[in-house]
């Protein structure tokens, strides 16, 4: 996918996240300048995932979206912050990630008693999983780091692997804020941002930021029989409008739906 004439490949995404996962996995998952160099402790890190997932499950319930509790997918699971929390609601959780060191960290932090499977998924799809494999697909803080074409491909896959009457929770910024940094990310050439992140901010590897306008997301999901029931802005304190989308999936055709 060209960004100002630069092709960003899945290999590059894998390489960057492998480096980030090796150097500072917890900080790279929840970027907070105050938590650089080992600032996150394991319990605090996992607690942040529990707070998020509890809120999300309550929100789905409030919307009348009640997926089965058999199996959840945590796409881009990182160090397993959300996978562990999801294991409080689902019998089994599958956490997939493109970064081996992130997965190693997730296995270290697994508190589920063996109900989470962490596995490498380093292709542009979810070919390892059959249609309708999961009651819930959860994906937060991942798609914004991917070139838009790749993100669109995974979203199509989410609609394939989710069960009829299942649900999705997708967190992705809708647009940049009109702050200096927001505008830099929108308009500056990627090679410049990359150099600034490496030299000025001392990131172990660059982290790109893309936005996904809700209308575009809705279109991609609709093609797979899924609909956004609510989009909540949960934070606007920095340079992006951070949205979490709660998605309902049509029931199977033989239960009165059209999917």
Name the residue nearer to ligand SAM (CB basis): 77 or 165. Answer: 77
Contact 90, 167 (CB under 8 A): no
Query: What distance in Å separates the CA atoms of residue 245 and residue 139, rounded to the nearest whole number?
Result: 10
Q: Of all residues in this chain, which one has the CB nearest to ligand SAM in the complex?
A: 78
Minimum gap (Å) between residue 14 Cβ and ligand SAM: 7
Per-residue tokens: 35 = 């938590």
Contact 204, 223 (CB under 8 A): no
Name the residue nearer to ligand SAM (CB basis): 144 or 165. Answer: 144
Query: What distance in Å separates the CA atoms of residue 24 and residue 28, rounded to the nearest whole number?
Result: 6
Name the residue nearer to ligand SAM (CB basis): 129 or 259. Answer: 129
Per-residue tokens: 107 = 């296995």
Query: What distance in Å separates the CA atoms of residue 99 and residue 224, rounded to the nearest whole number?
Result: 27
Minimum gap (Å) between residue 250 Cβ and ligand SAM: 26
Query: What distance in Å separates the CA atoms of residue 106 and residue 95, rounded to the nearest whole number?
Result: 9
Name the residue nearer to ligand SAM (CB basis): 12 or 70. Answer: 12
The neighbour count for residue 122, using CB atoms within 10 Å, is 15
Name the residue nearer to ligand SAM (CB basis): 99 or 133. Answer: 99
Minimum gap (Å) between residue 216 Cβ and ligand SAM: 18
Question: Which chain residues interact with ligand SAM by CB under 6 A?
Answer: 13, 17, 29, 76-78, 81-82, 96-99, 102, 121, 140-142, 145-146
Q: Which secondary structure element, helix H or strand E, spans residue 237, and what is its range?
A: none
Minimum gap (Å) between residue 258 Cβ and ligand SAM: 30
Minimum gap (Å) between residue 64 Cβ and ligand SAM: 26
């Amino acid at each position: 996918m060209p960004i100002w004439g630069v092709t960003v490949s899945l290999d590059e995404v894998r390489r960057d996240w492998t480096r980030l996962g090796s150097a500072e996995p917890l900080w790279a998952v929840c970027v907070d300048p105050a938590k650089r160099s080992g600032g996150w402790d394991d319990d605090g890190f996992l607690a942040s995932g529990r707070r998020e997932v509890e809120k999300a499950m309550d929100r789905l319930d409030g919307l009348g979206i009640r997926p089965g509790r058999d199996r959840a997918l945590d796409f881009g699971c990182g160090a397993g912050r959300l996978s562990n929390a999801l294991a409080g609601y689902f019998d089994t959780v599958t956490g997939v990630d493109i970064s081996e060191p992130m997965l190693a960290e997730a296995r270290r932090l697994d508190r589920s008693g063996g109900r989470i499977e962490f596995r490498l998924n380093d292709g542009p799809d979810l070919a390892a999983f059959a249609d309708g494999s999961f009651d819930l697909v959860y994906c937060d803080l991942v798609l914004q780091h991917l070139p838009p074409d790749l993100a669109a491909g995974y979203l199509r896959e989410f609609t394939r692997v989710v069960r009829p009457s299942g649900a999705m929770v997708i967190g992705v910024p809708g647009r940049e804020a009109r702050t200096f940094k927001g505008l830099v990310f929108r308009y500056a050439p990627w090679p410049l941002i990359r150099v600034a992140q490496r030299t000025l901010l001392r990131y172990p590897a660059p982290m790109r930021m893309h936005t996904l306008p809700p209308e575009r997301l809705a279109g991609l999901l609709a093609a797979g029989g899924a609909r956004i029931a609510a989009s909540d802005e949960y934070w606007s304190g920095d340079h992006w409008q951070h949205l979490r989308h709660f998605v309902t999936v049509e029931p199977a055709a033989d239960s009165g739906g059209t999917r």
